[in-house]
Structure 1
């Protein structure tokens, strides 16, 4: 009842800018892999992928790789590593934003540092081919994952190219800019509720809670993101009802807004992509 609704259009605009910047990153990766696709189709594919925002770590966005295949026959093994690269650079961008706040507020430093180290560990493994091949050879000895090794090896060439250290800079800068837009949106939500939390603290809270949600691997980070966000707000002396309301509003304007936008783009282009049942059938993810 106390929320100033005139903030809402600006909040949603900032969220949309986040999507546009992330589309820029998606398009940048397509060019790195020399995947030919028109800007319009690329945009439709990217926005349709937002329907999978509620999947663990957003890795359901591998849907984009399948939609790309439907349009121009790009092998899924070639384009799917883009989703991994997107998640890696998203986390690097979030860690950069949260790291400044964690250092200043002396809160959450270990989680931010651990996340950053894990990311660079992944990058290092992918960058050293003999090490990667050694890992896949060990995977072949495990019956449960043996059948997936061939697909992993097929995707390796694209993944190692996208996650080379020299190619991380531009996508990470784009990620910092895009996620800071949502941090600003969170700040406006708090301002709309009459809270005096600074933009600096709002950026830390939002980015840190998003990292925690991503690491939890729960669908959309549901539960962990909200708990972290609300908890830190309360620690900063924000009244519990305001903290809960702020968390609910920003999650509605980001996570669920993304799902709605993705659904609109996906279903209004169903003639281009085919039926949803066809998109998610098992064979589509193993070719």
Structure 2
């Protein structure tokens, strides 16, 4: 290896190491900030009141919350499978569910690395490259945005009172979903960016290829069924939030609980933080407080629902991840 090649390889290794450390430090900072905020609220409210609320939950109720979250993951996993098959990738339902759930292990990493890992697994097991599978991550995220926006608008229409900024947030979610799935618009943006930068022609060519691939997912029937699956999945978790509030002695109505849960998930995502950490919890507690829910209920309710949704997903992903890695490695060798 020449000195120039060695230097470039060393530079890439150092850059990748620094990037990993930055990601880890960012995640650690977010977790510390979130923990500090929750501890502050608990101290303000009183440890005994929080504990009294939590002991009201029995093992059976926790299982119900986890099953509703599992229904969300399976529903969205089936949607992922529909996207995969529509892209022409010959994956089985078992493969799609393994990839989808295994990717949850990296849900709280910046840049949603979990979705990139799913692409790698698909490539190793089916031979389909990133240019062919990259649109899957885009349409999957766009489908989530539309489904959650529809749930938010529908639940607000059925509930008494509104939520400040709910309409702009829902509109922004739909607009973002439409924007990132328009092949012509994205190709024009990529071309304009390349003309401005004048470098990395291969990278921009791949981006244009990915943008063109999005056109395959614009069939009305596919959009309808995938948005429906996403809406059913997120509604299951929203209903879990409603049940949790009832079990903690507070009933604000199913529609309002669903609206608060969905708005908080969207608001957390808009912050750009991995997994919506911090933003989703803050929005949920604030909106519950506006509804007259005391902190001794809103704080444990927020902590429990995040534990049985986000952190449950990460736990399942951590269990599936090594299995998916092992199977993908065997596929790459065959």
TM-score bracket for this pair, using the shorter chain length: 0.7 to 0.9
* 8 Å CA contact retained: 2:106, 2:114: yes
How has the CA–CA distance of structure 1 residues 163 and 226 changed in structure 2, closer, same or farther, with 3 Å as cutoff?
Answer: farther
Secondary structure of the corresponding residue to residue 220 of structure 1: helix
TM-score (norm 1): 0.87
How many residue pairs get aligned? The number is 272
- Structure 1 residues 229-248: aligned runs within 5 Å: 229-248=284-303
1:106 is matched with 162
Alignment match, 2:65: 11
1:117 matched to which residue of 2?
Answer: 175
Which residue is 2:16 aligned to?
A: none
In structure 2, the residue matched to 1:209 is 264
Specify the alignment match of 1:52 in structure 2. Answer: 106
Counterpart selection for 1:33 from 74, 87, 92: 87
- CA distance in 2: counterparts of 1:112 and 1:205, whole angstroms: 12
- Structure 1: tracts of 5 or more residues without a match: 276-287
The 3-state SS of whatever aligns with 1:44 is: helix
Deviation at 1:198, TM superposition (A): 1.1
Larger Rg: 2
CA, structure 1 residues 203+59, in 2 after alignment: closer, same or farther (shift >3 Å)? Answer: farther
In the TM superposition, residue 274 of structure 1 has moved relative to its aligned partner by 4.2
Q: 1:228 aligns with which of 265, 274, 283?
A: 283
Q: Gapped runs of 5+ residues in structure 2?
A: 1-50
TM-score (norm 2): 0.75
* Alignment-derived partner of residue 279 in structure 1: none
**Correspondence list, 1:96-245, <5 A:** 96-103=150-157, 104=159, 105-107=161-163, 108-123=166-181, 125-126=182-183, 129=184, 131-143=185-197, 146=200, 148-163=203-218, 167-245=222-300
Match of 2:6 in 1: none
The structure-2 alpha-carbon separation of the partners of 1:186 and 1:164, relative to structure 1 and needing over 3 Å to count, comes to same
Q: Which moved more, 1:50-59 or 1:16-25?
A: 50-59
Structure 1 match to 2:320: 265
Residue equivalent to 1:65: 119
Contact 1:57–1:215 (Cα < 8 Å) also in 2: no
Change (3 A) 1:141 1:15: same
Q: Distance in 2 between matches of 1:202 and 1:190?
A: 8
* Larger deviation, residues 161-170 vs 207-216: 161-170
Conserved 8 A contact 1:48-1:266:
yes
Residue 75 (1) aligns with residue 129 (2)? yes
How far apart are the structure 2 equivalents of 1:28 and 1:224? 31
The CA deviation string for residues 153-178 of structure 1, in whole angstroms up to 9 with x for no partner, is 12123222224555321111111111
For residues 51-103 of structure 1, the C-alpha deviation after alignment (integer angstroms, 9 at most, x for no partner) is 12223574632211111111121111111211111111111110011112345
Is the partner of 1:141 in helix, strand or coil?
Answer: helix
Q: Distance in 1 between matches of 2:91 and 2:214?
A: 19
